[in-house]
Amino acid sequence: MRIPVTKKRSLNPVQILSIGFAAVILTGGLVLSLPVSSQSGEFTNFLDSIFTATSAVCVTGLVTLDTGTHWNYFGKTVIAILIELGGLGFMSVTTMVALVIGKKITLRERLVMQEAYNAQNLQGIIKLVRYLLFFTFGVQFTAALIFMTQFIPEHGVSKGVYLGFWHSISAFCNAGFDLFGNEITGKFQSLTLLNTNKVLILTTGALIVIGGLGFSVWLELWNNRKSPKLMRRLSLHAKVVLLITGILLFGGMFVFLILEWNYTLSGMTFGNKLVNAWFASVTPRTAGFNSVNLTDMAPASRFITMLLMFIGGSPGSTAGGIKTTTFGIVIFTIFSVLKGREDTELFGKRLSKGTVYKAISVFAIGIALVLFDIILLAMTEAGKPMEMIMYEVFSAFGTVGLSLGITPDLSSMGKVIIGVTMYLGRVGPLTVMLALANIKHPAAIKYPEDKLLIG
């Protein structure tokens, strides 16, 4: 008699990524809930600890407890490690350890890394991760030294060094966490009382942009840095990322400069107005720092901020949101349709239908998730202004961390909703859906074509 053999079911790369992020969040939440992590030496509410860990791993910055005043140095260091793990991806850290101890990287691990960094193929994936690690630590170390020139004169050597490295990690990973709550009057002030420090604002903004562009783009720029025809040698991906990023950053800067001239920028010198308008355009790209009071911004500025938060940064970076390339593909597709073209065309190239369908799916799923969460939060946070609720949801989905002030007052269910939204925004709603559905192959049947009225 033949004994049937049951095939062992293994997790696919998107499932490993989804579960891996969840495991890191749970571990971080457990550590932060312990007395050893808090300033008071007491246990921290587990829901608040999990919320903080989720915000750190998802590099968001939304917090229910002030980071600078509630956590001691151990707790703050744990948060910094969680931010680094969330920004780089736990697979990068795993690869780094494997390289140090000489362990062989399996094909399965390479496939997970390919999915994590949106690499087009497996060839050179280990080299890409190695470059990613050197690039990240190099940029963070350089920025930390610049930060120290501002922090050491004010706080002393030991604390200035700690603040320099801590904020360099937070800014590069687009996390938006800061430790200034205990340094100034009040809490949750971010950089609002330091907005005239151009070195601090410009360095923080530069880190956000560098972290949000994507590691593959920087690798291309570095490899072609001496080429007289740089733009021609760049891949289509790099061109689209740089184009959309430039439009959003500088377009947003001029819009904020005009809208906020007599609001949050009032009373500043022209130089400070320009710097802070640029920073207001940079930080919604999933960073979460703010140099002006968000509640004092013009209503139009807050709405534009929500749109920028929804778009986010670029694929393979530390940023969240639907990504610049997704937004770019949707826009280019609209233009191609208006021009009567059958294919999406950009920079003299044609995109495959599969790429366009995936971009439209991510865009649609993102909008659906945001709208669904707004409805849920409106029910759990009855009485809170709808604008604040919308702002909170957009911020969580884009893993930004900006808030109009309702995060600490969220109900238990509200914290769960925002926490799940941060997780989905960081891992990617499409990634999570694919992980749950376990879709592997396209349908074998092709149905007959028919017509449907549009518009």
Segments of the chain scoring below 50 in pLDDT: 1, 3-8, 183-186, 435-438
pLDDT at 157: 93
pLDDT at 181: 63
**174, two tokens:** 């687009």
pLDDT at 327: 93
CA angle 56, 187, 212 (to 5 degrees): 35
The torsion defined by the Cα of 284, 287, 293 and 295, in degrees rounded to 10, comes to 50
pLDDT at 179: 86
Distance CA 45, CA 26 (A): 14
Upper half-sphere CA count for residue 133 (Cβ side, 13 Å): 17
pLDDT at 448: 82
Answer yes or no: is 275 within a domain.
Answer: yes
Answer yes or no: is 167 within a domain.
Answer: yes
Closest by CA to 209, choosing from 107, 287, 326, 311, is 287
Answer yes or no: is 6 within a domain.
Answer: no
Answer yes or no: is 4 within a domain.
Answer: no
Answer yes or no: is 231 within a domain.
Answer: yes
Answer yes or no: is 94 within a domain.
Answer: yes
Number of domains in the chain: 1
Q: Which domain holds residue 370?
A: 13-436
**235, two tokens:** 């891949």
The answer to whether 292 and 264 have CB atoms below 8 angstroms apart is: yes
Distance CA 179, CA 196 (A): 18
pLDDT at 146: 95
**97, two tokens:** 């350890």
Distance CA 408, CA 388 (A): 13
Answer yes or no: is 444 within a domain.
Answer: no
Answer yes or no: is 45 within a domain.
Answer: yes
Please report the beta strands in 91-217, taking only residues with DSSP state E, as ranges in sequence order.
none
- Give the strand pairing for 349-350 and 345-346: antiparallel
For 169-220, the pLDDT digits (tens) are 999 988 888 887 654 444 667 788 888 899 999 999 999 999 888 877 888 8
Phi–psi pair at 350, nearest 5 degrees: -115, 135
The answer to whether 99 and 130 have CB atoms below 8 angstroms apart is: yes
Indicate the pTM of the whole model: 0.84
